[in-house]
Amino acid sequence: MILNELVMLSNVYGSNEELVLAGGGNTSAKDGDVMYIKGSGTQLATITAEGFVKMNRAALADIFTKEYPTDDEAREAQALADLDAAKMPGEEAKRPSVETLLHSLFPHTYVLHVHPALVNGLTCSVNGKSAAEELFGNGFIWIDSCKPGYTLSKICYDKMTEYKAQNGKDADMLLLQNHGIFLAADTVDAIGDKLADVMSKLTGALVREPDFDSGDYDGEKAQKCFDVIYELYGDDAVITYEPSVEALRFAESPETASAVMKPFTPDHIVYCKAEPVYGFCQACIRGAVNEYLDKNGYMPKIIVISGCGFFAVDLTPKGSETAAMLFNDALKVATYAESFGGALHMTDELSDFITNWEVESYRQKQNV
Ligand SMILES: [Zn+2]
């Protein structure tokens, strides 16, 4: 029964593009001693009961009583091994979501974790925390940007313990800076109510909404850019071209583009690479792409060009479309962040950590 409800909740919210893009987000439900968590490499929109991994709750709780190494690689490898060992018998072939530990911290039956652009307009903004306090009082916990995996879950564990001691109740909402939101409740309906409340309060606080209608772009220049991109990436390259009003607005100059030249959340890194390249014309794109390749060892996925908008390039149609979808998400986040003091990106240190994190490269390989 609980698992069926969980599948339903996941499919409903997972199909809503305002809430979930690509393989982002995850859900869980607790039933006595076990917790069902979304498997890594599955999508909420289409997940079935088999896509969930059955975990031993006591073994998950034990993880927070352990000491882990401070070295990033050693710590994450050990925590991942313990997470693996917390799977119930018969689940060996499955891989639980990397955010499993966070779900286990809530005593509530259902947990929904998503990365909506509207929420991230707040979590990726300069005044995010104070704006959240104005909107939600003390009904949430703010988690500052930090390394994902075990580090993040331990910080949440400590903050949630402190919240309960201070407020006499369990936290049911976490706002994760440069990441997303966790909501928890004992019924599916209560999750829906809570989410609707958050989204309507955020919408009410907006000073401007993004505009994705086709804009007034320079067709001749765009055609020349297509030619240069094929030349640089090869004839097999798949290009998704986005000349929306919003893309054109950000592409106008290096100053306007600076709001989207660094990643806001791990999703942007996984599907668009950490940074796009910027250029004024087809000629400077050639130099910029080569310089980018020298510096990073891979080609950029997003090329922003003044007067044209942006081009998402990959070797598969799905990769190209997903990169475009996630860069449009970044444009939305940047626009919404204007309502909360302006855009705040991930630090370079965190961005490098995510870029090199095995767990995220797994997600990228799945391309879901
Ligand atoms: Zn997440």
CATH classification of the domain holding 240: 3.40.225.10
Q: State which residues form the domain around 237.
A: 219-366
Claim to verify: residue 15 and residue 152 sit in the same structural domain: yes
Q: Within this chain, do residues 109 and 257 fall inside the same structural domain, yes or no?
A: no
Q: How far apart are CA 71 and CA 281, in angstroms?
A: 44
Q: What type of residue is 149? A: G
Domain count, the chain: 2
Domain assignment present for residue 303? The answer is yes
Q: Give distance in angstroms: CA of 284 to centre of ligand 1.
A: 36
> Which residue from 93, 18, 81 is spatially nearest to 54, judged by alpha carbons?
93
- Residues 123 and 171: their CA atoms lie apart, in Å, by 18
Contact by Cβ (8 Å): 99, 60: no
91 alpha carbon – ligand 1 mean position (Å):
22
Residues with CB under 5 Å of ion ligand 1 are: 180
Per-residue model confidence as pLDDT tens for the chain (368 residues): 899 999 999 999 999 999 998 878 999 999 999 999 999 889 999 999 999 999 999 999 999 999 999 998 899 899 999 999 999 999 999 999 989 999 999 999 999 999 999 999 999 999 999 999 999 999 999 999 998 889 999 999 999 999 999 999 999 999 999 999 999 999 999 999 999 999 999 999 999 999 999 999 999 999 999 999 999 999 999 999 999 999 999 999 999 999 999 999 998 998 999 899 999 988 889 999 999 999 999 999 999 999 999 999 999 999 999 999 999 999 999 999 999 999 999 999 999 988 887 666 556 565 54
What's the maximum distance between 2 C-alpha atoms anywhere in the chain? Answer: 64
- C-alpha of residue 125 to centroid of ligand 1, in Å: 17
Reference 330, options 221, 222, 242; nearest CA is: 242
User: Does 270 share its domain with 149?
Assistant: no
Please indicate, yes or no, whether residues 183 and 78 belong to a single structural domain of this protein.
yes
Question: What is the predicted pLDDT for the residue at 364?
Answer: 57
Instruction: Give the span between the Cα atoms of 253 and 180, in whole angstroms.
Output: 29
Task: Tell me, yes or no, whether 173 lies in a domain.
Answer: yes
Tell which of 143, 170, 204 closes a domain. Answer: 204
User: Is 169 in the same domain as 235?
Assistant: no
